[in-house]
A and B are shown apart, each in its own frame.
Chain A
Amino acid sequence: MEKWELFQQKKNLEEKRIVLPNATVGKDYQVWIDLGEEASSELILSDITGLENTGLAYHKESNTLAGTPLGNADLKLIFNFLIAGETIEKKVPFAINPDPRSLWKNLESDPQDPWWKADEQITQQLFGTKELVAASKRGRAHANTGKFREDHYEVATLGKQGWSILVVSDGAGSASLSRLGSKLACESAISQLKALPETEWQALGQQLQGQTRNISGAEADQLTTDLQQLAADFLSPTVYQVHQQLASRAASMNISLSDLHSTLALCLIKASDQGWMILTFSVGDCPIALIDSDKADVLNVLDSGEYGGATRFITMPEIFDHPDFYTRFSARVVPDFAYLMMMSDGIYDAKFETTFNLAQPKMWKGLIDDLEGNNPEGQQVNLRQGNQNVAAQLSSWMDFWSTGNHDDRTLVIIY
């Protein structure tokens, strides 16, 4: 090699940016070191120093860096080149990422906090001819920083007419006291409804009597609208009271109402001789769905923005003035169903990803298969009558791993 060529090649090498893809702990790594235009028979990468204890080694004969990284590190490796017998050292940055799963900590939430909430809540109970199971768990994102669960759910019986209520609320991650907001929203809805006189429940049952008519087309659309109106008339005073109670609580605590930001999905349900009477209301992004073997009906419209995590809350006064307010309600009478499910976005984001998928029966079938044990963790929730361990099983299932989905998870199922 001519002297000027050697000089030029050394200069090129010094200026060249050598990029090694980042490695991850525990994941096999193999990279062929590409010298690009500089590659020639007279340029040899003789050694890489700085790889001690990394689990990686440089293989000169194949020009590869390979192995299984042992620990995370930000390294400056030294590449030792030989050009026509001369040695040149070059520093190359190299990052080994930790295994993301190893990073999640499970820190206790502060039990002394005045608004402390248990990390987990589970319920199983008979539900007329069916059964109910529910679980709510603090997500990894909260466990990782010792924060509280912000989801909440409640199940209760109302009056003597056989009505029950299921309520799910998801406290906003961005609101400082949303764990309290979600709890208050659920409790307030129940106490409002419990205070209604028996006559109102009787009247509601009577109005819904005979609404299972097998009709289609315009007539069916009309019925849906009428029933929506009925649900709105019955439930809107309650949901407005929930808002008011949250507002007065915020005022008495001298905090902003937005500190209590929480979604609210509620479902009134009663078994009758015609089947099941169901009323729903929702603000936010907790789906309420009726699932049968061949179809899935989502009973509510979800509030979602153009970006993820953006939604609306019961604490937002503007929802009550919006002309679409009545679309937040629904009512129906169905002869039977296989499953009724309510969930927070911690489940829905991980299992459905988009609102479009919520309308796909095959996605619901996938979720049921998943619950029945078709999942990488092999966790099974036996949704058969008489299973004494069903709530514990649901709670274990809820620990499923889903990259990027680490929110609190709440799921209520009637089966």
Chain B
Amino acid sequence: MRRLPVYFLLDTSGSMYGEPIQALNNALNGMLSTLRTDAQALDSLWISIITFDREVKELVPLTELVHFQLPEIVCPQSGPTHLGQALELLHEKAEKELRKASDEQTADWRPLFFLFTDGKPSDLMLYRQMIPKVKALNFASIVACAAGHLADDSILKELTDTVVHLDTADSTTLKQFFKWVSDAIDQGNKSMGTTESITLPPPPSEIHLII
């Protein structure tokens, strides 16, 4: 069976404490609920969730949607944003988990990677070191989402051409964003050129595509 692996890197640094983290939990649950009624997703989608604040954690290892269970995502009241370390963990996990073409196994669909952050990396040097390695994993798409006025779009642009900005990390906006993510995931099971990126659906008005 051909899997569509999707990696989420979620910012749980101090600035997410309170309403934003609640909104993130709700929006993720909403997205999973939507995906669970999507024939294509139920058949092939595998999800991994990595959270990062001071600590970087593989919250849920790459798991089939059918069996996926989302634990409550919590965050400390304050602390740095170790995005570089998170990319390092993502790289390490993805290297092991992704199934590429071989004699014995069906290759995965090209994986997708969604990054959600409301700040900028505290470990900028490591972040920059990891960028080429992450890109070399040949994701079909990397989407970076910057939420709120503290997030730095230009730093995220170094990682991917697809950077979207949310004005606030409130419940409505996050729901819209993750609805769009599930639409984007629907684009994942399609044949394409060996190195081309997938075409993402147009984002709703709450989401600004940074050019």
Contact = CB atoms under 8 A, between A and B. Distances in A.
Contact of A356 (B44, B104, B138, B140): B104
Contacts of B29: 74
Contacts of B138: 306-307
Contacts of B211: none
Contacts of B42: 97-98, 100, 103
Interface residues of B, number: 44
B10 to A, nearest CB: 18
A233 interface: no
Given A22-B66, A308-B108, A354-B104, A140 B192 contact: no
Contacts of A309: 2, 109-110, 189-192
A367 interface: no
A144 B103 contact: no
A141 interface: yes
Given A97-B36, A403-B43, A308 B67 contact: no
Contacts of A19: 69
Interface of B: 1-3, 29, 33, 36-40, 42-44, 66-69, 71, 98, 100-111, 138, 140, 187, 189-196, 198-199
Contacts of A356: 102-104
25 contacts: A21-B69, A74-B29, A95-B69, A97-B42, A100-B39, A104-B39, A144-B39, A170-B191, A173-B192, A174-B191, A174-B192, A174-B198, A175-B192, A261-B193, A305-B195, A307-B110, A308-B2, A309-B2, A309-B190, A309-B192, A311-B191, A312-B193, A354-B102, A354-B103, A354-B106
A405 B2 CA distance: 8
A349 interface: yes
A130 interface: no
Contact of B101 (A74, A261, A354): A354
A340 B136 CA distance: 40
A97 to B, nearest CB: 6
Nearest to A344: B191
Nearest to A259: B199
Nearest to A20: B69
Counting chain A CB atoms within 10 Å of each CB, the highest count among B29, B101, B193 belongs to B193
Contacts of B190: 172-174, 309
A141 B40 contact: yes
B71 A17 contact: yes
Nearest first, the 5 closest Cβ-Cβ pairs linking A and B are: A173-B190, A356-B103, A103-B39, A305-B194, A174-B192
A298 interface: no
A257 B109 CA distance: 24
B209 to A, nearest CB: 19
Interface in A304-326: 304-313, 316
B193 A313 contact: yes
Q: Which of under 10, 10 to 19, 20 to 34, or 35 or more describes the interface residues of A?
A: 35 or more
B104 to A, nearest CB: 7
Contacts of A406: 39-40, 43, 189
Given A22-B66, A258-B193, 4 more contacts: A141-B40, A307-B108, A309-B192, A354-B102
Interface in A236-295: 258, 261
A173 B100 contact: no
B120 to A, nearest CB: 31
A260 to B, nearest CB: 13
A72 B37 contact: yes
A114 interface: no
A25 to B, nearest CB: 11
A404 interface: yes
Contact of A21 (B67, B192, B194): B67
Given A103-B38, A354-B101, A174 B69 contact: no
A181 B37 CA distance: 32
Interface in A51-107: 72, 74, 93, 95, 97-98, 100, 103-105
A316 B102 CA distance: 25
B8 to A, nearest CB: 18
A310 B44 contact: no
Contact of B36 (A95, A144, A306, A312): A95
Contacts of B102: 354, 356
A353 interface: yes
Interface string A129-168: 0000000000011001000000000000000000000000
Nearest to B29: A74
Contacts of A170: 191
Nearest to B100: A306
Counting chain B CB atoms within 10 Å of each CB, the highest count among A174, A345, A349 belongs to A174
A307 B104 contact: no
A17 B59 CA distance: 14
B107 A308 contact: yes
Contacts of A229: none
A382 interface: no
A72 B40 CA distance: 16
Nearest to A315: B193
Nearest to B140: A307
Interface in A346-366: 349, 353-356
